[in-house]
Amino acid sequence: MQTITCGTGRSYDIIVGRDIIDKSGELIRKVSQAKRAVIISDTNVAPIYADRVAGSLYSAGFEPARACFKAGEKSKNLNIISEFYSIFSDAGITRDDIIIALGGGVTGDMAGFAAATWLRGVDFVQIPTSLLAQVDSSVGGKTGVDLPVGKNLVGAFWQPSLVICDIDTLKTLPEKYFTDGMAEIIKYGCILSKSLFEKLENFEINSILEDVISECISLKVDVVEKDERESDRRRLLNFGHTIGHAIEKLQKYEGLTHGQAVAVGMAYITKAGEIAGVTAPDTYARLVNLLQQYSLPIEVKGITNKQLCTAAMNDKKCTGNSINLVLLKEIGCAFIERMGFAEFEGFIGL
């Protein structure tokens, strides 16, 4: 078991290990004196893990209640958040109590946002059960929900009190969603660590999984500690996401998964960077080879360049009439370039 500390304004630990989900109540009790807790989970994860977490919380002296929503990005909206508030009210959740996010990235984003906004802020704990959530979304305090006009447009920065990453929960993860998380892992290699990228090229992931998860978390913690509110360096973590979010929106969140859309976004932006001469030659080929190694897509059909760019310009990464794009100089080294709409459309040039 490894413990990584995130030293933001509100410091907390990320615990990475195996067979620790049944100890969640004991671990949470060390950081919380709450009486009541609400476990938020979805219809995929709750049947597998909610009873175990609730039992652990009860043994540690908590009074656990539950909120369960239909799994999927389409549930990530303010209507479902309102349902959570009703459950909090019925459970008597006060500022001294705690919310538990049990599931993947959608669950963590929603539970964190609900915790941030209930009574102007209640503590919450992340128990991520997907690879994507363990290496990325559970750490850093970004919470939010989607609107019809775009993804994650309503949200808050609200750091968790604790993150519990039980790697054994990934055994119940469908293969599709494991590869989903691999897109985020590859992202870290692209923007922050050439050695991680090379490790992914040369080793089978299951033989190095625990170390890779811990390394990705450490990389993200380092970025978040320096830029908690995403005003500078933290924007690098959006590599592939500007285009990825646009694809998700255009497909009404019923096409590619988040990780698959980010994979396409990384491929498109890297290819465009090479053509423009700002990305080192052969970077795109190496990225494509690695994405395909993990069965991730590198293109999407049925979306025009105009549609993609228009959707991307509605993203929260836009400032005025320009957009902040994350580009690669080479594997392991990224930078941010601001472009206007016309320049962006020409740059992508699908």
Which run of H or of E encompasses 141?
A: none
What's the CA gap between 289 and 306, in Å, rounded? 27
What's the CA gap between 21 and 168, in Å, rounded? 9
* Strand-pair partners of 155: 144
What's the CA gap between 176 and 258, in Å, rounded? 11
Catalytic residue numbers read 120, 142, 184, 220, 230, 234, 238, 241, 245, 258
What's the CA gap between 323 and 246, in Å, rounded? 13
3 state DSSP class of 123:
strand
Phi-psi category of residue 152: left, alpha or beta, with phi > 0 → left and psi -120 to 50 → alpha: left
Do residues 1 and 20 touch, judged by C-beta distance below 8 A?
A: yes
What's the CA gap between 23 and 251, in Å, rounded? 40
Q: What pLDDT score was predicted for residue 314?
A: 74
Residues ≥6 apart with Cβ < 8 Å to 41:
49, 50, 66, 67, 68, 102, 103, 107
Query: Nearest to residue 131, comparing CAs of 54, 186, 49, 60?
Result: 186
Phi-psi category of residue 116: left, alpha or beta, with phi > 0 → left and psi -120 to 50 → alpha: alpha
3 state DSSP class of 84:
helix
Q: What pLDDT score was predicted for residue 167?
A: 97
What per-residue string of b and e applies to 313-349 under the rule 16 or more CB within 10 Å gives b?
A: bbbbbbeeebbebbbbeebbbbeebebeeeebbebbe
54-109 confidence digits (pLDDT tens): 999 999 999 999 999 999 999 999 999 999 999 999 999 999 999 999 999 999 99
> What radius of gyration, in Å, describes the C-alpha atoms of the chain?
20
Do residues 81 and 114 touch, judged by C-beta distance below 8 A?
A: yes
Per-10-residue mean pLDDT for the chain, 350 residues long? 93 97 98 98 98 98 98 96 98 98 98 98 98 96 92 94 98 92 98 98 94 97 92 92 94 93 98 97 98 96 91 73 92 94 85
φ, ψ for residue 282 (rounded to 5)?
Answer: 80, -5
**Domains of the chain, CATH where assigned:** 2-172 (3.40.50.1970), 178-348 (1.20.1090.10)
Q: What pLDDT score was predicted for residue 263?
A: 98
Taking the whole predicted model, whether its pTM rises above 0.85 is answered as yes
8-24 confidence digits (pLDDT tens): 988 999 999 999 999 99
Q: What pLDDT score was predicted for residue 229?
A: 87
CA angle 278/281/286 to nearest 5° reads: 115
* Strand-pair partners of 37: 64, 98
Please, where are the H alpha helices in 60-172?
78-91, 105-117, 131-132
Query: Nearest to residue 107, comparing CAs of 88, 123, 87, 129?
Result: 129
Q: What pLDDT score was predicted for residue 48?
A: 98
